[in-house]
Amino acid sequence: MKKIILIAIFNILLFGYDATIEVVKKGFHVPKIAIENSTPPGAVESSVENKFLKLLVGDIKVTSHFQIGDTVYRGDYDDDTIDSSVIEKKTELLLKCKLEYDSKKRLVASVKLLNAKSSNKIFEKFYAVSKKERYPFLAHKITIDINDYIGAPPVKWMERLIVFSKYVSKGRSSIVIADYTLSFQKTIVQGGLNVFPKWANEKQTAFYYTSYNSLMPTLYKVDLYTGTRKKIISGPGMVICSDVSKDGNKLLLTLAPNDQPDIYLYNLSTKTKERITKYSGIDVSGNFIDNEQRIVFISDRLGYPNVFAKDIHGDRVEQMIYHGKNNSSCSAFGKYIVYSSRETNSAFGDNTFNLYLISTETDFIRKLTSTGKNLFPRFADTDDTIIFIKHYRRESALGIIRLNANKSYLFPLKTGKIQSLDW
């Protein structure tokens, strides 16, 4: 089984705006905001306090809907007087944050948004998490709410969990859930070779993954709330879940019962499978499109990996990408397809893989990355945000692309390597 080499680089160049995605609403004002730390000395551990504030600043930057610097001011939560240095920088909004533990030992964030010009309070809310290690979700929820308050395009994807396979050592990979910045991580499955996780539903209460720890590859479903694991299907060669229907009842599987991988539609209720592709070569990585009546998938039917589409119950196959000679992974959302294309052909060194975006309604191709290995792109539950894996040397990072803003961000994995992921 081929092992993926991964990257951690801290800047990706994105190219100019084009017609594949609309820009943020015309006329939308991007306000200038500052953060004031109102946490009393000793109320929480300094490490938690500092990481939370750094992450909150980062979250606000990632929205691309605010102007914000790295300076965090100090002040009293109950004193709404605006510091003169904040006013001098023509700041429009001041976000006051106070961290503390309540009687149940929950980490609580009190948040107040002020009009920096008038000192008027325009928003206040209180947030809590049961364990301090979950502080990233406090920052994410605060950012989502203030973003909604100013009427910016939603960024609710920030609070979604990432599930990924982390390479630990030879023949050993764990399944981990994390927030999108990788600041919070929890290992769910470990021991042996566990790969290709896929969320089982929109609520992210369960996921599928493939285990190579038995005589044959086996697909399991894990319930995050009960911790139970259920066997779904096993078979020779390859068993991978690449997509799940909206109702959670049908899976797109890559199976290779006769050593030749094809895509199957598996019904969880009837426990029956239907073969969708019947090519003598390689067909893998099916994704639902067009209200789940069609799929896009990767095939070598041109002599190299490329992206194709077909009706689930039809025979006609349509080539979707006419760019590149090795398009090895893709993801679809509505009318958009994002895919990874190999752009060098080195037999001895690392090759470059870049991400591209196309619309099924136009012929325009938009290049999203420019350097390194960029693989396994996945859309959020919106068409303006993409997550992917970036590789460099022996390290890996999780990347976020904000399409409307032409910006991207990378979050390195400190230990291990990301093999595959889902959002």
pLDDT (tens digit per residue) in 183-213: 999 999 999 999 999 999 999 999 999 999 9
Calpha distance 134→293 (Å, rounded): 39
Model pLDDT for residues 175-189, shown as the tens digit of each residue? 999 999 999 999 999
Which amino acid is located at 399 in the chain? G
pLDDT at 13: 29
Calpha distance 51→336 (Å, rounded): 36
Question: Which regions of the chain are under pLDDT 70?
Answer: 1-28, 346-349
pLDDT at 377: 94
Neighbouring residues of 189: CB distance < 8 A, sequence distance ≥ 6: 174, 175, 209, 211, 222, 229
**Which stretches of 212-350 are assigned E, i.e. beta strand?**
218-223, 229-234, 239-244, 250-255, 262-267, 272-275, 283-289, 294-299, 306-311, 317-319, 327-333, 336-342
Q: What is the pTM of this model?
A: 0.88
pLDDT at 346: 63
Go through the domains of the chain in sequence order and give each one's CATH number: 33-152 (3.40.50.10070), 157-422 (2.120.10.30)
